[in-house]
């Protein structure tokens, strides 16, 4: 049986959606990994700063300033990744819902294509 134009269009549209969802989910995963790594680095830097603030530790002022600067950079990266992750999660959720609806619509149209459509003409009703 020949495929209808609508089924072909939906199939192409769904394939495009799946590729887009794949790209967005990979981006989201990379951002989450980066966020996790930066949170670990921040924790280590905080521990280092706490250690350096103890009375019996001798440290150069330049090194202490360098560590503080690294902490500021890590905090900026954490803010950046947090700003990127939430919108991506929202977009991914919205697109997944839309993808599910399109899949359901595709299945419905695809099934209708193979259903036997019986046409009833007005002349046939008058005879019965």
Please count the structural domains in the chain: 1
Q: How far is CA 125 from the centre of its chain?
A: 56
Lowest mean per-residue pLDDT among 56-60, 82-86, 89-93: 56-60
- Contact criterion met (CB below 8 Å) for 10 and 109: yes
Q: Is residue 118 included in any domain, yes or no?
A: no
User: Which of 90, 121, 102, 71 shows the shortest CA–CA distance to 28?
Assistant: 90
Other residues' Cβ atoms within 10 Å of the Cβ of residue 112: 12
Q: Is residue 121 included in any domain, yes or no?
A: no
Q: Is residue 48 included in any domain, yes or no?
A: yes
124 pLDDT exceeds 60?
no
pTM equals 0.73
* CATH classification at residue 9: 1.10.287
| Residue 101, domain extent | 5-112
């Amino acid at each position: 049986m020949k495929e209808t134009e609508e089924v072909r269009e939906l199939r192409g549209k769904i394939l495009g959606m799946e590729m887009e969802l794949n790209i967005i989910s990979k981006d989201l995963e990379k951002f989450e990994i980066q966020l996790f790594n930066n949170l670990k680095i921040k924790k280590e830097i905080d521990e280092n700063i706490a250690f350096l603030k103890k009375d019996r530790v001798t440290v150069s002022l330049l090194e202490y300033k360098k560590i503080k600067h690294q902490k500021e950079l890590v905090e900026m990266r954490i803010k950046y990744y947090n700003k990127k992750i939430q919108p991506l999660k929202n977009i991914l959720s919205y697109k997944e819902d839309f993808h599910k609806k399109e899949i359901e619509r595709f299945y419905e149209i695809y099934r209708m294509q193979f259903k036997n459509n019986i046409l009833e003409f007005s002349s046939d009703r008058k005879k019965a």
